[in-house]
Amino acid sequence: MKSSFHQFWDHFKLSFNQIEHSVHQFENSYKGVSFEALYTSKEDLDFIFNDKNVFGTFVDLGCGQGQSVLYYALKFPDRKAIGIEFHNSRIDFAVRIQREFEIKNAHFDHEDLLFCEIPKGDTYFLYFPTGLVLDRLLTALYEGMNPFNLVVIESHGDLIKRIGLENWLVPIQEVKLSSQRHYPNAVIYKRLFLERDQSLSPFLISYQKRFLLIRENGVTWIGESYGMEWLSAGQFNLKVPPRTIFWEDVKKLMFFEHFDPLTKFALRLRSFNELTFTVNDTLINASIRKIIIDPTFMIELSTGERLQWNEITSIYRGSELCYDSSYVV
């Protein structure tokens, strides 16, 4: 068995660069990250798996090449192990290793963690989730209503701090790790059957397309919730527009269909990287950042300029005319 374990780990290390090269073509994939940084070592998995709080069906949420799933299945042939991964090349490799070592108690799902159904497990494993993916996973686990423990390894710098906001997860154990991480221990949480705190409501929309009416400095403008990332208590970074906001300044949540035709039109224009605006016979090349709806309708450009809508004569995207003031939107 020892020689099998040795050969088992060699497969993952030797194939790492080839597999990750095909992953790098995808947006938001981790590039230039070493095998040791992207995956948990055998020694650390031993520390974790041997803990009494890790038991039953093991589910790795973002399993990569699948070594944690397959190693758990090898160590505990009477238990089940499940891995979920988005990238085909990683899943294909994991399945190939599973067949080579004839591991019967492991299963892999090729799924997007933003949308997939989370399988029921006794122990969940989180390593490297960030932003909206993390927010969605925590919501899905909470809504699953099954008892479980959650193993978390800090990889991002504020993962432990972020999970600490979830009042329905309580830390019950820390496991010392040998590999250098942002946080030196893996933390094991137990799921409590408490109502999720209302202060966590911003994390429910970071992976959804909602619009935020934000009131600050005497104006009301429109931000978008999708991709919103938590910074600190009550403070978030928006992806669209790229701004830092305080949640207390968000006055209302809206859907696209709730806006009037002009606002819908401006929101569509904001999705374009660069536009050409004609204002008083002057051409301005920029993208739209803020859409301000009160006290008057105006847009703030990537150049920092603010334009009253009624000052704009025309808007072009390349050679395509998007707006002419002589026509009603």
DSSP 8-state assignment for residue 129? -
Q: What is the pTM of this model?
A: 0.91
Residue 38: predicted pLDDT: 82
* Domains 2-197 and 258-324 fall in the same CATH topology: no
Q: Which of 158-187 are b and which e, b meaning 16 or more Cβ less than 10 Å from the residue's Cβ?
A: bbbebbeebebbeeebebebeeebebebbb
Render pLDDT for 244-271 as a digit per residue (tens, 0 to 9).
999 999 999 999 999 999 999 999 999 9
Share of the chain above pLDDT 70, in %: 95
Measured distance CA(89)–CA(292) in Å, rounded? 45
Torsion of CA 206, 212, 218, 219, to 10 degrees: 120
Order of strands, sheet of 243-246, starting from the edge strand that comes earlier in the sequence: 229-232, 235-238, 243-246
Ramachandran bin of 95, using left for φ above 0, alpha for ψ from -120 to 50, beta for the remaining angles: alpha
Query: 289 falls in which pLDDT band (50, 70, 90)?
Result: very high
Which tokens is 81 given? 């192990």
Query: 190 falls in which pLDDT band (50, 70, 90)?
Result: very high
Render pLDDT for 171-184 as a digit per residue (tens, 0 to 9).
999 999 998 888 89
Q: Domains of the chain: which residue ranges?
A: 2-197, 258-324
Residue 17: predicted pLDDT: 86
The answer to whether the CB of 60 falls within 8 A of the CB of 69 is yes
Q: Is 258-324 a CATH 2.30.110 domain?
A: no
Measured distance CA(152)–CA(125) in Å, rounded? 6
Torsion of CA 233, 239, 245, 250, to 10 degrees: -100
Q: How far is CA 254 from CA 6, 63, 212, 302, 305, in A?
A: 55, 35, 6, 24, 26
Measured distance CA(261)–CA(43) in Å, rounded? 59
Query: 2 falls in which pLDDT band (50, 70, 90)?
Result: very low
**What topology is assigned to 2-197 in CATH?**
Rossmann fold (3.40.50)
Which residue did the predictor score with more confidence, 156 or 29?
156
